[in-house]
Amino acid sequence: MLLTVSHPLRDGRVAASSLLAAYRGHRPATAPVWFMRQAGRSLPEYRALRVGTDMLEACLTPDLASEITLQPVRRHGVDAAIFFSDIVIPVRAAGVDVRIVPGRGPVLAEPVRTAADVAALPALDPAALDPVREAVAATVAELGSTPLIGFAGAPYTLASYLVEGGPSKEQLRTRALMHADPDTWARLLSWCAEITGAFLAAQIAAGASAGQLFDSWAGSLSLADYTAHVAPHSERAIAPAKALGVPIVHFGVGTAELLPAMHAIGADVSGVDWRLPLDEASRRLGGTVPLQGNIDPALLAAPWAVLEAHVRDVVERGRAAPAHVVNLGHGVPPDTNPTVLTRLVELIHSL
Ligand code: CP3
C-alpha cells in the first residue's frame, strides 16, 4: 500500500517539519518539541468541550476528536499534533465492551483470561475505524505544515488491560498467563497486534505523518520475557504503518533495560522516560538512534528556575544522540498549569 498523493507527506505540506527531520535523524535549526498527553485535562478548553460526553464516545466523534487534537497546537505552538484518541479504541471498535472510567482508566466488562475467552475475541471490521479516518482527515486539513502523529497501544499494554480487566500496577495475571499458557498468550497478542496495527495504519493512511507505539507497561517485563513473548507481536503491530513509509517512535515507561530490544522491532526513534538520562540512553543504543524525551513530568510543578535548569540539562544530554525530539518522560499530569507548557515550548525553541 502507498500513501495517496494528497497525503501531507506526499503533497509537500510537512516538508519543512523540524519534527520529521529529527525523526529521520537530522538536526534541524530549532529543536522540535511536543508533549505526550498534550491534549486533555490540563486544558480548560478541553474540559469545557468534554462536558457530558463519555471519553470513548468523544474519541469516536470526528469533529470533537479533531478539535481536541488541535487545541494544544493552537495554544502552545508545539511542533506536532498527536491524534486525540485512546489505545483501547480498536478494542471497542472490534465490539469488546470496554469503557474508560474517569480517574482509573480502561475497564473491561468481562476480562479475557482463558483459551475460550481469546478464541471468542471478535475480528475488527475495517469500517469500524471510519470515525478515526474521518477525524484524522479533518485534523490534517486544519494543521497545514504541522505534522500529525498517529499512535497505538503495543500488544502487551493492550493485553494487560484485557487480562486484568482494568489498570494494574504489576500485571500479575497477565504475566502468569504468558508462562502458564504460551499458546493462548500468543493468540491473544496476535489479536492485539492485528487490531492495534490496523488502528495505527488507518491514522497514517488518513493523513498522519509519523506513528508512536506506546508500550506503557512493558517496564514490568524482564528482557527475556519481552524478547521471547512480546517483541515479535510489537514488530507485527507496526509493520502496516512502516509499510506506508512513516517514521515510528517506540515508547515505554521504566523500560531502560529494554531499550535496545524495543528499538530492534524496527522502530526508528526511541522514546525514553525520565528515569534514564538521554546520554546514557544513546550509549545503550550504540549512538545511532534518534531519541525522544525526557523531561520529568513532576518538575512541571516545580519553580520555573528548577524546571528550566532541568530542561537545559535534558537538551544538553540529548546532543549525544544523532537527533532529539524534546518531550516529557511520560504524559502531562492533569493538574499541570498550561502556561508552563507554553513557556517551555518557547524556551526549547530558543536553545
Ligand atoms: O495528547 C495525547 O497524548 C493524545 C491522546 C491520548 C490519550 N490516551 C487520551 C486520553 C493518548 C496518546 C492516549 C494513550 C493511552 N491511553 C495510553 C498510553 C500512553 C500512556 O499514558 O502511557 C494508555 C495507557 C491509555 C489508557 C488510558 N486512557 C488511561 C490510563 C487513562 C487515564 C484515566 C484517568 O482518568 O486517569 C485514559 C483516559 C484518557 N486517554 C484521557 C485522555 C485525555 C483522560 C480522559 C478524560 O479526559 O476523562
DSSP-based three-state secondary structure for 323? coil
CB 107 within 8 A of CB 98: yes
Closest residue (by CA) to atom 8 of ligand 1? 86
DSSP classification of residue 230 = I
Ligand 1 touching residue 103 (CB < 6 A): yes
Q: Which residues are catalytic?
A: 37, 41, 50, 86, 161
For residue 158, what is the DSSP state?
H
The cell for 64 is 470533537
Q: Which of 35, 53, 55 to probe ligand 1 with, by most ligand atoms within 8 A of CB?
A: 55
Distance 27 CA to ligand 1 centre (A): 30
Handedness of CA 292, 135, 91, 128 (dihedral sign): negative
Contact 317, 279 (CB under 8 A): yes
Q: State yes or no: cis peptide before 327, omega within 30 of 0.
A: no
Ligand 1 within 6 A of 42 CB? no
State whether the beta carbon of 60 lies less than 6 angstroms from ligand 1.
no
Q: Ligand 1: does its nearest atom lie under 6 Å from the Cβ of 158?
A: no
Q: State the burial class of residue 135 (Cβ atoms within 10 Å of its Cβ: 0-12, 13-18, 19+).
A: buried
Per-residue pLDDT of the chain (351 residues; tens, 9 = 90+): 689 999 999 999 999 999 999 999 999 999 999 999 999 999 999 999 999 999 999 999 999 999 999 999 999 999 999 999 999 999 999 999 999 999 999 999 999 999 999 999 999 999 999 999 999 999 999 999 999 999 999 999 999 999 999 999 999 999 999 999 999 999 999 999 999 999 999 999 999 999 999 999 999 999 999 999 999 999 999 999 999 999 999 999 999 999 999 999 999 999 999 999 999 999 999 999 999 999 999 999 999 999 999 999 999 999 999 999 999 999 999 999 999 999 999 999 999
- Cα 348 to Cα 311: distance, rounded to the nearest angstrom: 8
Read off the DSSP letter of residue 331: P
Instruction: Write out the three cell numbers for 24.
Output: 529521520
Residue nearest to atom 23 of ligand 1 (CA): 87
Q: Is the CB of 84 under 6 A from ligand 1?
A: yes
- 8-350 adopts what CATH topology? TIM Barrel (3.20.20)
User: What atom of ligand 1 comes closest to residue 214's alpha carbon?
Assistant: 18
39-138-85 Cα angle (round to 5):
35
Cβ of 164 closer than 6 Å to ligand 1, yes or no, is: no
Q: Where are the alpha helices (DSSP H) in 155-230?
A: 155-164, 172-180, 182-206, 223-225
* Residue to mutate (ligand 1; options 75, 100, 200; most atoms within 8 A of CB): 100
**In the chain, domain spans:** 8-350
Ligand 1 atom 34, closest CA: 103
pLDDT value at position 1?
64
CA–centroid distance, 153 to ligand 1, in Å, is: 10
pLDDT for the residue numbered 2: 87
Rg, Å, the chain Cα set: 19
Contact 86 CB / ligand 1 (< 6 Å): yes
DSSP code string of 37-101: T-SSTT-HHHHHHHTT--HHHHHT-HHHHHHHHHHHHHHH--S-EE----TTHHHHHTT--EEEE
CB of 328 within 8 A of CB of 294? yes
Instruction: Please tell me the pTM assigned to this model.
Output: 0.97
Which candidate, 31, 65, 28, places its Cα nearest to that of 50?
A: 65
Q: Cell numbers 506526499 correspond to what residue?
A: 10
Backbone angles phi, psi at 325, to 5 degrees: -105, 120
Contact present, 163 and 177 (Cβ < 8 Å): yes
Edge-to-edge strands of the sheet including 210-215? 81-82, 148-153, 210-215, 248-252, 269-271, 291-295, 324-328
Task: Report in angstroms the alpha-carbon separations of 277 from 3, 74, 270, 300.
Answer: 36, 30, 13, 17
Ligand 1 centroid–CA 36 distance in Å is 9
Q: Check pocket membership of 211 for ligand 1, CB cut-off 6 A.
A: no
Query: What's the 86 CA to ligand 1 centre distance in angstroms?
Result: 6
The cell for 253 is 515507561
pLDDT in the model for residue 75: 98
37 C-alpha to ligand 1 centroid (Å): 7
Ligand 1 neighbourhood includes 55 CB (under 6 angstroms): yes
The alpha carbon of 39 and the centre of ligand 1 are apart by a number of angstroms equal to 9
In eight-state DSSP terms, residue 305 is H
